[in-house]
Structure 1
């Protein structure tokens, strides 16, 4: 094994997001180096942190403990730590130890940057014609419902005649929808979601606790031509 290498950079529209690119492995021998880098950026009052783990081939429980141990202090200062581009074998352990309940992870760096920029009110896509508003109950984003036109009434010799209601369409049971349709619904509600967040959204009561691997979702997004943020916004605008 080659130990650990951590390089630093700044990203985001305001260059206020610290990007840590990690290479190697994070265990009891190297987690101190990882902690040092995180502490270093926090000492510079940078609390928006992205950790790129695309070149990390192993993380022990001690390694994950570094991130979990620092996340409270980061969030208390109005920031967050987001992990991106985990390898399949690393993500499996991450999920098995249920660190996904504590730490946010993303498919790529761009999605994490967009989430940070959006959280501070920056417009990440000026071409979007519809706006998002934060939900008060669960913190997710939702689309403002369209205004429905009022029904017109016809006048007759016997007085106003009410237009017959449209044919009643029973509500769709979202739990029984095909996986592709469930994914489309989540994309329409918030196109900023990548594979990781879609996976979380599927594993809820609404969709019957659909459990599917993130890698299957990535393949499905490619098949649906929704595998990039731009494509998902384009699909969102077309609905």
Structure 2
């Protein structure tokens, strides 16, 4: 099955710096794996965003980015992942990152984004996250223990809302699904 069979017109554009192979997950509605090979930077991030947005418009809101073949992501590339998260959340979707190479994960951490994304070790865990994730409620999520995206202090949120990190005083917000945001 080609990418165009899964998402019509997906392969209309090509960029040798970033290859994307799609795999539909049967049994989990709207779930799509995107195998990324190459890199994402300022020059190809627009290409990356257009292709993934095409998948979102086709009804795929549970996105699994398989990153084992991704050897570099710039801050612009990380901005793309953030844009996808904003696009799928209102549609009851989410995204998961898999098998991130250490040097790529380091960029996510340095920019404070590692906390915002669901990072899983393998495809089975990612699919399971979406299978049971749709049935979760606030009681499953809270209290939530997490690290401050700025100073890595362990924090505990008993409910959604805004609060201040006890260590670095950064203002954080946590939504009903347990996602943490700055401000």
The two structures have a TM-score, normalised by structure 2, of 0.66
CA distance in 2, matches of 1:69, 1:102: 12
- Asked if structure 1 preserves the Cα contact closer than 8 Å seen for 2:62 and 2:93, the reply is yes
Please list, as runs of the form range in 1=range in 2, the aligned pairs for 1:56-75 lying within 5 A after superposition: 56-75=70-89
Structure 2 SS opposite 1:50: strand
Quote the RMSD (CA, aligned, Å): 2.9
1:2-55 per-residue CA deviation (whole Å, 9 max, x = no partner) reads 611011111153353111000000001211221122111111111111111100
In structure 1, the gaps of 5 or more residues are: 122-132, 143-185, 187-196, 207-239
Cα distance, 1:70 vs structure 2: 2.5
Larger strand percent: 2
* Structure with more helix by fraction: 1
How many residues end up aligned between the 2 structures? 139
TM-score, scaled relative to structure 1: 0.51
1:168 counterpart residue number = none
Query: What runs of 5+ residues in structure 2 fail to find an aligned partner?
Result: 1-15, 157-183
The runs of 4+ residues in structure 1 deviating greater than 2 Å are 12-16, 133-136, 202-206
Which one has a bigger Cα radius of gyration?
1
What is residue 11 of structure 1 aligned with on the other side?
A: 25
